[in-house]
Chain A
Amino acid sequence: MKVIIIGNGIAGITAARFIRKQSSHDITVISGESKYFYSRTALMYIYMGHMKYEHTKPYEDWFWEKNRINLIHGWVGKINTSQKKVNLTNGDILEYDKLVIATGSHSNMFDWLGNDLNGVQGLYSLMDLEKLELNSKDTDSAVIVGGGLIGIELAEMLHSRKKKVTLLVREDGFFRNVFPKEESEIINRHIREHGIDLKLNTELKEIKGENDRVKSVITNSGEEILSQLVGITVGVHPNIDIIKDTDIETSKGVLVNEHLETNVKDVYAIGDCVELRKTPEGRKTIEPVWYVGSMMGKCVANNICGVKEVYNPGVWYNSAKFFDIEYQTYGNVPNEIGDGLSNVYWEHENGKKCIRIAYDAQSKEVKGFNLLGIRYRQNVCIKWIEQKLSIDQVLTELSKANFDPEFTPRYEDKLAGQKV
């Protein structure tokens, strides 16, 4: 059986690896971005000089041939589902028995005046990083639009090259659409500590140019900020460019059922480009994160290899790092605690570490953890949430969750001391 996977990100590659583990199918992975799988999450570290591109490849180059996974470095032009064929832009035509779409995301871009000028860009791919290198060369100051995970990464990247960085955030705090006020303020302070000009409650209104290159940015308050580079990091949307002209159903993303099957037989979709028809409990229909790509890759591999599986991602978790402050979250902690929820919160006096545990105000069942500057064990936290442990019990056993390095001061008793 011939399996073609479009996209060599974490979703596509996980699918390929797990199909190989279970079968001797003919597997081909197509990507225009790079021949070999690399870790997209490490793009920032290449730019900052922590690693080179070669370090971001999780498998050595011989791995693919040894595991009989064919890699094609090229772009897909057209998919013909009735004839089960994929046309590459170089003219090659490939046949498949099963097709997996794992095309990832595109950066969001809105209709700002001047958004087509040179120096305006997002950060998602190797091509974006290459563009950033070119744009950085004659940049002294940069403006980044968007108070999310990529925005702060881009700020850190440009800051490492000694650029003057201004970060425009629409909300009244960084990541405020996810973070409660306190967490957001910890990161606001930290961003400023690093010398980034963080402008809250501020939106981009217009980008002004000179000779086709960005010259300045006008904010909604009318302020003009001189800059040669504008980073647009206002989220991503599923990349369905090559799906649009097919009979594969899409909405915002490629629509799939609980087996990750599209409406067309033998065509599956996984990862960022997916929109789930049915939302699993406590999750969203579109989840463009690494971990989802990995889980969907495994699930689709089973479905293709004949083990009918339901995609069930379980309790939500995610992590990030904001300059020097690590962030981990397990379960659901909304940005406004209310709606039948209550919480315990502790913050270190240095203002750089915090623990928040949300629980149901009535039943006392624990619902979620937010951690800044402190590491907790995923399996412990998720088990507690799944087992609906009460907040009292969680607080007495909290030290079991700690995953900080040896000798790191522990703060669990600070929380246990709080009245619930």
Chain B
Amino acid sequence: MSESGFSLSISNPDTGGLNTTQKLGLTGVAIGLLAFLVAAFGPGTQQPLLFLLVGSTFLTVGGLVFSYQTYATKPKGIKNNHIMHQTLTNRGLWGWVLGIFLTGIYVLIYWFPQYLEHLIRVFDPLSYFLRGQQANQWFLYGTFYTGLVLVMGIRMIWKYRHSKYQIIRTSSVIFFQLGFAFLLPHIMVKLHQPEYYFSYFWPLDYDMFFPNTTTGMLNSGTLGIFMLAWGSLLFFIGTPILTYFYGKRWYCSWVCGCGGLANTAGDEFRHLSDKSLKAWKIERYMVYSVLVLITLITMLLWVNSYTEGAVFGSATQTLVSWYGFLIGAAFAGVIGVGFYPILGTRVWCRFGCPMAAYLGILQKYFSRFRITTNGGQCISCGNCSTYCEMGIDVRSYAQRGENIVRAACVGCGICSEVCPRGVLKLENGPAKGRTGTNPIVIEDGKVGLRN
């Protein structure tokens, strides 16, 4: 048999098809999508409430019915059958269709919202209710995003319902997306306060420390000052302390909305991340460059602000625009989510997020977090590496009996779930000697286990 491209199980396996309940669920999803599609052609502007209710109800209920039937009616356990057989999850036909579709949606939202006009109008009733003003493309985006995290989060909980860690973690992600990244900022707008996201701060919220933003907040009363203080506190004190005790996971897979989407809606694409050594090299160059870049830009802006533009003129503003376009929009949005079905779910988190870079440095050098390996029990099967969304070759550590201490690890805990031998455990413990060593040792002429 030949080695290249050799993949045994792609020979048209019978995956069994769908049952009636699953078909009903999918029908609901399709009707919901159709409702929004019809609305986008014009009717959305005339009857927004009708289309909003029909579209969102069918999408939500349909999605939940399908997920319940797919996961919750089966015995508890890992449900990865046929992931590599389906074109949607294996970079096949449906994977590419979805990838191109999602990418297109992002392009429309970021740069051509005028084409979404009628669809945006559908969300006016909700926007008036929550924000007290008309919807725009960002409200449309935020609502879909939060809805996806909610529905797919419930699906995630059904899928991993044998695991308390996954249930609690997913609930946390849903809570922060729904409350802190959706409801709270909108309600604040309705109360005529600045729109503020309490769970986003520098460097992910990259303009927080820009001179304009900072002075703007300082000039907007007590709440503005509080918000600036809150953001600064989280960056300078909260993040180092929490990361020391729990690792970067406290943010990346418990709070952050990007991580939230990846770990709910993106769950079926997590295995598509690149595990090669080469990809790890690229990751290190890229993600730390972005952190350096945004730090530099922020500093330059302050220099420029003090010197009143004498040194750099409008050059810094150009830098900001380019950063916003390339990193903030193209990378975080278009590639980050649009390419889920092609590059996996955490492309942004792994290669581009400056917040992840900052957290990663803390995790690598100042943290009690590690993934512990259980002695010599690893059978090198590869499930842990395959399902690591951050592209960490977990197996390369596990099979040597070494603990895993990697800047990239977001502590989602899936490696520990999919391990068929119970070898991996996410743990917080003494920071000293976190990187364990090989448990199988040969000493005094005896092969044995290190205690």
Chain A positions near chain B (C-beta within 8 angstroms) = 10, 34-36, 39, 41-42, 45-58, 60, 73, 126-127, 129-130, 133, 136-137, 160-162, 190, 193-194, 290-291, 294-295, 298-299, 302, 308-315, 317, 319-321, 323-324, 326, 328, 375, 377-379, 382-383, 403-409
9 tightest Cβ-Cβ pairs between the two chains A and B: A324-B77, A378-B375, A375-B422, A162-B16, A407-B164, A42-B381, A49-B82, A49-B85, A321-B420
Q: Name the residue among A51, A54, A60, A133 with the largest chain B CB count within 10 angstroms.
A: A51
Q: A60-B276, A295-B440 are in contact. List 5 more A-B contacts (CB 8 A).
A: A41-B379, A47-B13, A133-B13, A137-B11, A298-B440
Residue B6 is within 8 A (CB to CB) of chain A in the complex: yes
CA distance A35 to B380 in the complex (A): 17
Chain A at the B interface: SS class: mixed
The minimal Cβ–Cβ distance linking A312 to chain B, given in whole angstroms, is 4
Of B10, B13, B82, B374, the residue contacting A403 (CB under 8 A) is: B374
Give, as a whole number of angstroms, the nearest-CB distance from A353 to chain B.
11
A50 contacts B449, C-beta separation under 8 Å: no
Provide 13 A-B residue pairs closer than 8 Å at the C-beta atoms, listed in order of the A residue: A34-B1, A34-B3, A35-B3, A51-B386, A53-B8, A58-B380, A133-B9, A315-B449, A321-B421, A324-B76, A328-B377, A328-B421, A403-B372
* Pair B77/A311 contact, Cβ less than 8 Å: no
- Among B81, B165, B380, B422, point to the contact of A160 (Cβ < 8 A): B81
Measured CA separation A229–B396 after assembly (Å): 37
Shortest B24–chain A CB gap in Å is: 20
Cβ A405 vs Cβ B413 within 8 A: yes
Quote the shortest CB–CB distance from B417 to chain A (angstroms). Answer: 8
Contact among B13, B374, B442, B449 for A299, CB-based, below 8 A: B442
Residues of B12-45 contacting chain A, CB below 8 A: 12-16
Please state if B445 and A317 are interface contacts (CB–CB under 8 Å): no
B12 / chain A contacts, CB cutoff of 8 Å = 137
Residues of A with C-beta under 8 A to B10 = 52
Q: B297 near A: Cβ within 8 Å?
A: no
The reply to whether A129 and B8 form a contact with Cβ atoms under 8 Å apart is yes
- The docked-state distance in angstroms from the alpha carbon of A320 to that of B420 is 7
Find chain B residues with CB under 8 A from A323 CB: 75, 77
Within B244-303, which residues are at the interface with A (CB < 8 Å)? 276-277
**A313 x B382 contact (CB < 8 A):** no
Contacts A56-B381, A290-B379 given; does A50 touch B425 at CB 8 Å: no
Instruction: Tell me the bound Cα distance from A320 to B98 in angstroms.
Output: 37
Q: Which residues of B contact A375 (CB under 8 A)?
A: 374, 422, 425
Nearest A residue to B78, CB-CB:
A324
Contacts of B413 in A (CB 8 A): 405
Q: Are A36 and B385 interface neighbours, CB within 8 A?
A: no
Interface centre among A160, A310, A312, A406 (most CB of B within 10 A): A406
**Complex formed: what's the CA distance from A184 to B239 in Å?**
49
B225: A residues at CB distance < 8 A: none
Q: Answer whether A58 and B83 are a contact pair too, CB < 8 Å, given A298-B442, A409-B164.
A: no
Flag if A160 contacts B9 (CB, 8 Å): no
